[in-house]
Structures are given as structure tokens and as C-alpha cells.
């Protein structure tokens, strides 16, 4: 093995210092002297007697780690004689490949297997090591004795000074009594005798007074010095700078406004119409206090009103905005993606965090669950699509693409196939691809790749649509939704769904329907891609059928910019096409709101619920009007008076539970809210 050059230990020895309680502690600083990331680990010949924190880790270029080594006590199983024969060894290796960085990243996140695989991958000739000698610094008994003697001497000095002060007080008292005798009644004999007596008294007291004056100054200095040394130990009052109870009472009394009766009152400011001249004359305004009838007590909600208030279940696990949410088929697990590089699985409706999927090095834009196989796909800004075991959050393998991967979605076929879209990077253009996965070989194969110039622009979302989910659609700038043959990659239809950009699309279980929303036109639209029984909606190209023929079925214009849309999973074509459909339950959700920059520039909107989902239901078709959508009435789950709390930023993701009894919303504020609909 090579000598240690990528890391410099400081000091180059384990110097133990013995504390008064007998414990041994040493600190070693490991400085990275290499031009990249370095991994290290510290070993000892007596792991049962010593604790090393941290025993291993990785250090970035130019940084250092402080390692603490502590000898275990006898209660912890340590041996008192272990420090005399123990040895310590520092091993380090340079991190040179991306795979090694991923293993260390997994180790830092608590995956012990990542650290083991990393050190197994390092050849012995690349492993560097250095043995650290052990130095034991015995505690000086003289300093211990000095500390104890100082404490005893301080107590003795204080006692002597207080005795001297008491004696001095007695001397001063005797001196004052002597002066009082000297100023007694005049008389010859009495004066002579008084003078002699006073002289004798003053001759005794005055020399003591003159001799005690310098002694008094010396004792006060010593007393002040001792008091300063003992103040931190004997201070029983409040610490300097802290408020006492009396201080708080004074502050409260100054801030409290008292009425004419001397009792504190609370003033509530409320707008009131100005009285007319007749009312002024009739009432007779005075400068006295307002009558008790004019004082309105604080209105508190009754217990019945508090019980009727609806509280959303708030999931707080992300530190940055939410980008995508999706329920599993059972509706008991909710998956959320965020810009904080995390994917989190939550229990529904309890709202407990089940597990976290940590592996992306950038924002996670979308995820998709294959319920039959228990596999989860995630994609993000790090150009990777990751495949996970959904139940264990174990990373299986990854697929690297040229640019940022904005969306990924499993196919509903028998084979493990997924579609994704990615941005372009340098010479590599943006693309929409279809991949097959082999679990036996643990790899993937690109089946179809659609690139520029066939793509009008980089796609922001892909989805499987059609009666058999045989078509692939992609969302682009300019309000375009393009439909493709997933096998050949040929274009089937190009739909201008909105005036400008399409924010999001959503597809129910019936693949003949597609919902879309636009940010600029603030409109929600429901499309029919193929009618049942028609040649267009029967089969895909390889089955002898035609392509999609989108038709607008229903639409609604909202009062805010829209970022996301969700459609009831059980919605069918027959229900959407029913001409007499009116009212009923919520069929679609739309959400958005002003961006933070728009609020700063033009001011917030007047709608206090602009960051709340907009529930939409079908509107009855009249002879002179087309079918459409309308907002659900403000009652039940959508009553703002009974609902408690809400989002604090624009919505980016919406989803129905499979049974449509719950809806979930994800926002810029990093929170996810679950709301009961029934």
C-alpha cells in the first residue's frame, strides 16, 4: 500500500488527554490535500475500548474533518490499560469515478452497503494508509492540588475579611461613643475630669482609627477581588441582562391602558358610521367612558362551529416546491416529488412518511408507479431516470439521457415499457423516447426515439392515451399537443389545445378523454380523442385502425393563471358526453395562482383563495349554449368558512384518489394538502 498523501492528519499522532474524571479524549483533523474528493476511514486495534466519531467519510477538495477518539469507560466495557497498547491506522483513497461518488452519496444517506462496496472497489495499490502513534498526556497533580487549594483559600479569605469588617465596625462604634462623651456638660472638675476621661478615651480610640485607615483600603481591595472571583459561582439572583418578574410586571403595567375605573381595558377598533347632527343632539355626546352596551365582547367560535371546521391533512416533508404528486392504485399511498431532490411516500389518510427515495442530484420532476411489479420510476434535472423497488426504496439501476428529464410514465402493456421526454444539451437535441426494461439483465433498451426536427420543441410532458393506451402524446410550446405512434414514432395528429403554452394534461382511466389547462388563457378544457365504436378509436396502426380525432367537449375559463389540472379517475366518455349532465359531484380540479414575481410586481389578487384548487362539475346543456363546466358550490369540503388553513403559494400539482374521496394538492410552499371530498 502507498503512503498517505491525499490526506494530512493534524497532529500526526493520537494525543490523549486525561480529564479529572479519568476519561481519555483525542482529536485528529484530516485535511484534504488532493485536487478532488477523498474518502477515508480510521481503524483501531481495540474497537471495543475506543469510540471513533466519525470512523469513515468523504472530504471535498480543500475541506477537512475533525475526528474524535474517546476511550470507553469501565461501565461501557472499556479497559483502563487499553491506551498503552492500542494502535490507530488512517486509510484513504481518491474518488475518481461517478460510480464511486454515487456509492459515497448512498453511504452519507445511511446506506452502509454503499460504503462497503466503495472500499471493495478500491485496488490495494491505490489504497493509502498511515499509522498514527499514540501519546498519553498525564494530568499534572500539582494543578489539581492548586485548584483545590485556591477554592479553599478563597473561602478562608472571605471568612477572615468578614471577621475583620465586623471588628472594624465595633471600633468605629467605640470611637463614636468616645466623641459623644467628649461633648458632655461643661464644668471645672467635670471638665478636667471629662477632659481627662475624654483624652483617655480618645487616646485609646484615635490611634486605632489612624492605624485602621490604610488597613481598611487594603481589605476593601482584597474583598472586591475575592467577590469578583466568587461571583459566577455564588450568584443566586438573575443573570445580568435578563428580565426579572418585577421587570416584566413593570413593562406590562406600562403597556396596559387603564379605564376611568382603574381597571385595564381592551380596545377593539371597528368601522362605524358617523352620527348625524340629530343623533348627536339626541344622544348627547360626552367625554366620559362609553357605556357598557357599546363594548362588544370578543366573538369566539362555538364548540359546534369548531367541530364543523374542515382541517386539511398537511404533509410537510419537502423543503422546496412540489413538482408532482400521484396516488397508487389502492389509494393508500401518495408519492410526492420536489425540487429538493426527494421523492417521498406517504400513508393515506394518516399522512405519515413511509419512506424516502434519495438518489437524484437535482430537482425531481415526475414519478410513475407500476403497481403489478412494485416498481417506481423517477426522473429529474440530473438527466437520469431511476428505477426503484417501491416497497423498500432500493435503487435498482438508472438510465442516463442527454438532458433534463421532465416526465416519465409507465405503459399499461404486459411488458415493462416506459416513455419519457428530455431537453436538449449542446449537440444532442431534445427527444421523446420509449424504453423497454429487462429485470433479468438489469438494463434498458430504447425502442423509439423521436427527435428534432420532428419535435416542434422540447416536450414538457408525455402520456399514454387512447382506448388501449396505444398512442403517445407530448406537450410542447405554442399550445401544441402532438400524438405519436409509439412503435414507429410517426406523427398521428397535432392539436392546438390552447392559445399559448399548455401547462399540464391529465388522462382518466378511460383513455379516450384528455383534460388540459393553459396558463395564459386561464382555461380548462376536456377533449374527446376517439368516440366509442368509431374506426378512429378502435385500434392502433399495428392493429389496422386509425389515429386520434380530438374534439372539444367542455371548457371553463378561470380567474387565475393555471399550472395544473386533474380529472376524476373513474370518469368515462358516456358520462362526459351526457347532454343532461348537470350538477353532481366534482369531476375536475384546476389550480395555479400568481407567481411570487408577479405578486411583487403587480400586487396580490383580490381572491384570498387563489392558491386553492378550483373544483369543477358538469354544466347542464341548454338549447342555446354549448356544454361546459362550472365551479362546485361553496359547501362541504369547498366552503371557505368551514375550511381551516390553505396553501401560501401557487399550485403545481393536483391529483384525485382512485375512489375520488380525497384530493391532493402540491404547492410552491413545499407542502402537500390532503382534503376529504365526501
* Tens digits of residue pLDDT in 56-66: 888 988 888 88
* Peptide bond preceding 453 in cis form (omega within 30 of 0): yes
- Per residue in 232-267, pLDDT (tens digit) is 544 444 454 455 666 666 665 655 555 555 555 544
pLDDT for the residue 86: 83
Q: What angle do CA 198, 201, 207 make, to 5 degrees?
A: 125
Q: How far is residue 587 from each of residues 4, 293, 566, 659, measured CA to CA in Å?
A: 67, 50, 9, 12
pLDDT at 546 over 50: yes
The SS3 assignment for 228 reads helix
Q: Are strands 128-132 and 2-3 parallel, antiparallel or unpaired?
A: parallel
Q: What average pLDDT score do residues 42-62 get? A: 87
Half-sphere exposure of 676 (CA within 13 A, CB side): 13
Q: What average pLDDT score do residues 301-324 get? A: 75
pLDDT at 36 over 70: yes
Q: What is the distance between the alpha carbons of residues 499 and 358, in angstroms, rounded to a whole number?
A: 38
Q: What average pLDDT score do residues 549-556 get? A: 91
Q: What is the distance between the alpha carbons of residues 438 and 440, in angstroms, rounded to a whole number?
A: 5
Q: What is the distance between the alpha carbons of residues 338 and 382, in angstroms, rounded to a whole number?
A: 13
pLDDT for the residue 264: 55
120 CB neighbour count, 10 Å cutoff:
8
Please name every residue paired with 70 in a beta bridge, in sequence order, or none if there are none. 25, 51
Q: What is the distance between the alpha carbons of residues 405 and 399, in angstroms, rounded to a whole number?
A: 11
pLDDT for the residue 207: 41
The SS3 assignment for 218 reads helix
Q: What is the distance between the alpha carbons of residues 178 and 314, in angstroms, rounded to a whole number?
A: 85
Looking only at Cα atoms, what is the longest distance across the chain? 151
Q: What is the 3-state secondary structure (H, E, C) of 168-180?
A: HHHHHHHHHHHHH
The SS3 assignment for 652 reads strand
- Per residue in 364-409, pLDDT (tens digit) is 999 999 988 899 999 999 999 999 999 999 999 999 999 999 999 9
pLDDT for the residue 84: 60
Q: What are the b/e assignments for 590-600, b being 16+ CB within 10 Å?
A: bbbbbeeeeee
Q: What is the 3-state secondary structure (H, E, C) of 122-133?
A: CCHHHCEEEEEC
Check: CB of residue 670 under 8 Å from CB of residue 319.
Answer: yes
Q: Are strands 14-18 and 134-137 parallel, antiparallel or unpaired?
A: parallel
Q: What is the distance between the alpha carbons of residues 90 and 43, in angstroms, rounded to a whole number?
A: 7
Q: How far is residue 298 from each of residues 257, 269, 309, measured CA to CA in Å?
A: 18, 12, 19
Best CA proximity match to 527, nearest among 504, 566, 554: 554
pLDDT, greater one: 287 or 225: 225
Q: Model pTM?
A: 0.56
pLDDT, greater one: 1 or 282: 1
Best CA proximity match to 586, nearest among 600, 567, 605: 567
pLDDT, greater one: 252 or 428: 428
| Percent of the chain at pLDDT exceeding 70 | 67
Check: CB of residue 480 under 8 Å from CB of residue 465.
Answer: no
pLDDT at 465 over 70: yes
Q: What average pLDDT score do residues 416-440 get? A: 92
- Across 487-610, where does the E strand assignment appear? 491-496, 502-506, 513-518, 523-528, 551-557, 562-567, 583-592
pLDDT at 440 over 50: yes
- Across 269-374, where does the E strand assignment appear? 310-311, 313-315, 322-327, 333-338, 342-347, 353-358, 364-370
Q: What average pLDDT score do residues 331-344 get? A: 95
Q: What is the distance between the alpha carbons of residues 459 and 232, in angstroms, rounded to a whole number?
A: 69
DSSP H helices, 183-239, are 188-234
pLDDT for the residue 10: 87
Q: What average pLDDT score do residues 275-298 get? A: 45
- The grid coordinates listed for 383 are 438527466
Q: What average pLDDT score do residues 335-354 get? A: 94
Most confident of 43-47, 235-239, 594-598, 608-612: 43-47
Q: What average pLDDT score do residues 420-447 get? A: 91
Check: CB of residue 493 under 8 Å from CB of residue 550.
Answer: yes
pLDDT, greater one: 307 or 593: 593
Between 42-51, 153-162, 184-193, 639-648, the lowest mean confidence (pLDDT) is in 184-193
Q: Are strands 14-18 and 310-311 parallel, antiparallel or unpaired?
A: unpaired
Q: What is the distance between the alpha carbons of residues 567 and 332, in angstroms, rounded to a whole number?
A: 19
Place 202 in a pLDDT band, splitting at 50, 70 and 90. very low
pLDDT, greater one: 340 or 642: 340
| Percent of the chain at pLDDT exceeding 90 | 34
- Per residue in 105-127, pLDDT (tens digit) is 778 777 778 888 888 888 888 89
- The grid coordinates listed for 545 are 385502425
Q: What is the distance between the alpha carbons of residues 84 and 81, in angstroms, rounded to a whole number?
A: 6
- Per residue in 569-579, pLDDT (tens digit) is 999 998 888 87
Best CA proximity match to 558, nearest among 613, 505, 601: 613
Q: What is the distance between the alpha carbons of residues 556 and 203, in angstroms, rounded to a whole number?
A: 113
Q: What is the distance between the alpha carbons of residues 191 and 337, in angstroms, rounded to a whole number?
A: 108
Phi-psi category of residue 660: left, alpha or beta, with phi > 0 → left and psi -120 to 50 → alpha: left
Report the chain's mean pLDDT, rounded to a whole number: 77
Backbone angles phi, psi at 112, to 5 degrees: -65, -30
Q: How far is residue 254 from each of residues 244, 248, 257, 419, measured CA to CA in Å?
A: 16, 10, 8, 69
pLDDT at 285 over 50: no
Check: CB of residue 59 under 8 Å from CB of residue 32.
Answer: yes
pLDDT at 141 over 70: no
Amino acid at each position: 500500500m502507498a503512503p498517505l498523501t491525499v490526506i494530512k492528519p493534524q497532529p500526526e499522532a493520537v494525543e490523549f488527554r486525561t480529564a479529572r474524571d479519568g476519561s481519555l479524549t483525542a482529536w485528529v483533523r484530516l485535511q484534504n490535500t488532493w485536487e478532488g474528493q477523498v474518502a477515508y476511514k480510521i481503524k483501531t486495534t481495540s474497537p471495543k475500548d475506543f469510540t471513533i466519531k466519525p470512523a469513515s467519510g468523504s472530504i471535498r477538495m480543500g475541506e477537512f474533518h475533525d475526528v474524535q477518539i474517546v476511550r470507553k469507560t469501565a461501565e461501557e466495557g472499556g479497559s483502563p490499560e487499553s491506551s498503552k497498547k492500542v494502535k490507530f491506522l488512517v486509510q484513504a483513497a481518491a474518488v475518481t469515478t461517478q460510480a464511486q461518488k454515487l456509492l459515497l452519496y448512498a453511504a452519507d444517506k445511511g446506506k452502509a452497503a454503499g460504503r462497503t462496496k466503495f472500499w471493495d472497489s478500491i485496488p490495494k495499490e491505490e489504497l493509502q494508509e498511515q499509522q498514527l502513534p499514540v501519546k498519553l498526556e498525564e494530568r499534572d497533580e500539582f494543578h489539581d492540588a492548586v485548584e483545590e487549594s485556591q477554592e479553599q483559600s478563597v473561602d478562608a479569605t472571605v471568612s477572615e475579611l468578614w471577621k475583620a469588617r465586623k471588628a472594624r465596625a465595633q471600633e468605629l462604634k467605640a470611637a463614636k461613643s468616645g466623641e459623644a462623651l467628649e461633648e458632655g456638660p461643661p464644668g471645672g472638675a467635670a471638665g478636667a475630669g471629662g477632659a481627662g476621661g475624654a483624652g483617655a478615651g480618645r487616646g485609646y480610640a484615635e490611634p486605632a482609627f489612624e492605624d485602621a485607615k490604610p488597613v481598611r483600603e487594603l481589605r476593601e481591595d482584597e474583598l472586591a477581588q475575592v467577590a469578583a472571583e466568587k461571583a459566577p459561582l455564588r450568584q443566586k439572583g438573575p443573570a445580568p441582562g435578563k428580565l426579572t418578574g418585577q421587570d416584566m410586571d413593570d413593562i406590562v403595567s406600562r403597556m396596559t391602558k387603564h379605564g376611568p375605573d382603574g381597571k385595564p381595558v381592551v380596545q377593539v377598533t371597528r368601522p362605524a358610521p358617523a352620527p348625524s347632527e340629530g343623533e348627536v343632539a339626541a344622544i348627547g355626546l360626552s367625554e366620559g367612558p362609553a357605556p357598557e352596551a357599546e363594548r362588544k365582547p370578543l366573538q369566539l367560535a362555538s364548540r359546534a362551529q369548531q367541530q364543523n371546521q374542515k382541517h386539511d391533512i398537511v404533509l410537510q416533508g419537502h423543503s422546496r416546491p412540489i413538482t408532482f404528486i400521484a396516488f397508487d392504485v389502492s389509494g393508500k399511498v401518495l408519492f410526492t416529488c420536489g425540487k429538493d431532490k426527494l421523492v417521498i411516500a406517504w400513508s393515506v389518510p394518516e399522512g405519515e412518511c413511509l419512506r424516502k427515495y434519495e438518489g437524484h442530484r437535482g430537482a425531481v420532476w415526475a414519478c410513475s408507479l407500476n403497481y403489478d411489479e412494485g416498481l417506481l420510476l423517477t426522473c429529474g434535472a440530473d438527466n437520469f431516470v431511476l428505477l426503484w423497488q417501491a416497497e423498500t426504496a432500493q435503487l435498482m439501476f438508472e438510465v442516463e439521457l442527454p438532458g433534463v428529464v421532465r416526465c416519465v410514465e409507465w405503459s399499461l402493456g404486459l411488458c415493462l415499457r416506459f416513455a419519457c421526454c428530455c431537453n436538449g444539451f449542446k449537440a444532442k437535441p431534445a427527444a421523446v423516447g420509449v424504453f423497454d426494461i429487462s429485470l433479468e439483465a438489469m438494463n434498458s433498451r430504447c425502442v423509439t426515439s423521436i427527435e428534432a426536427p420532428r419535435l416542434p420543441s422540447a416536450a414538457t410532458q408525455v402520456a399514454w392515451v387512447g382506448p388501449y393506451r396505444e398512442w403517445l402524446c407530448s406537450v410542447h410550446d405554442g399550445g401544441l399537443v402532438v400524438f405519436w405512434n409509439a412503435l414507429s414514432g410517426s406523427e398521428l395528429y397535432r392539436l392546438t389545445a390552447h392559445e399559448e403554452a399548455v401547462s399540464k394534461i391529465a388522462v382518466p382511466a378511460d383513455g379516450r378523454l384528455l383534460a388540459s389547462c393553459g396558463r395564459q388563457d386561464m382555461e380548462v378544457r376536456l377533449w374527446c380523442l376517439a368516440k366509442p365504436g368509431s374506426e378512429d378509436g378502435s385500434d392502433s396502426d399495428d392493429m389496422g385502425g386509425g389515429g386520434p380525432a380530438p374534439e372539444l367537449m367542455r371548457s371553463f375559463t378561470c380567474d387565475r393563471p393555471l399550472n395544473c389540472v386533474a380529472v376524476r379517475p373513474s370518469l368515462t366518455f358516456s358520462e362526459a358526453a351526457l347532454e343532461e349532465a348537470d350538477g353532481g359531484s366534482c369531476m375536475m380540479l384546476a389550480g395555479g395562482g400568481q407567481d411570487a414575481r408577479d405578486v411583487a410586481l403587480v400586487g396580490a389578487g383580490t381572491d384570498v383563495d387563489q392558491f386553492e384548487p378550483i373544483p369543477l362539475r358538469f354544466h347542464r346543456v341548454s338549447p342555446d349554449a354549448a356544454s361546459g363546466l362550472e365551479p362546485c358550490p361553496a359547501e362541504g369540503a369547498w366552503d371557505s368558512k368551514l375550511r381551516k388553513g390553505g396553501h401560501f403559494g401557487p399550485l403545481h400539482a393536483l391529483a384525485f384518489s382512485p375512489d375520488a374521496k380525497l384530493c391532493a394538492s402540491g404547492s410552491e410552499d413545499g407542502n402537500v394538502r390532503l382534503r376529504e371530498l365526501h
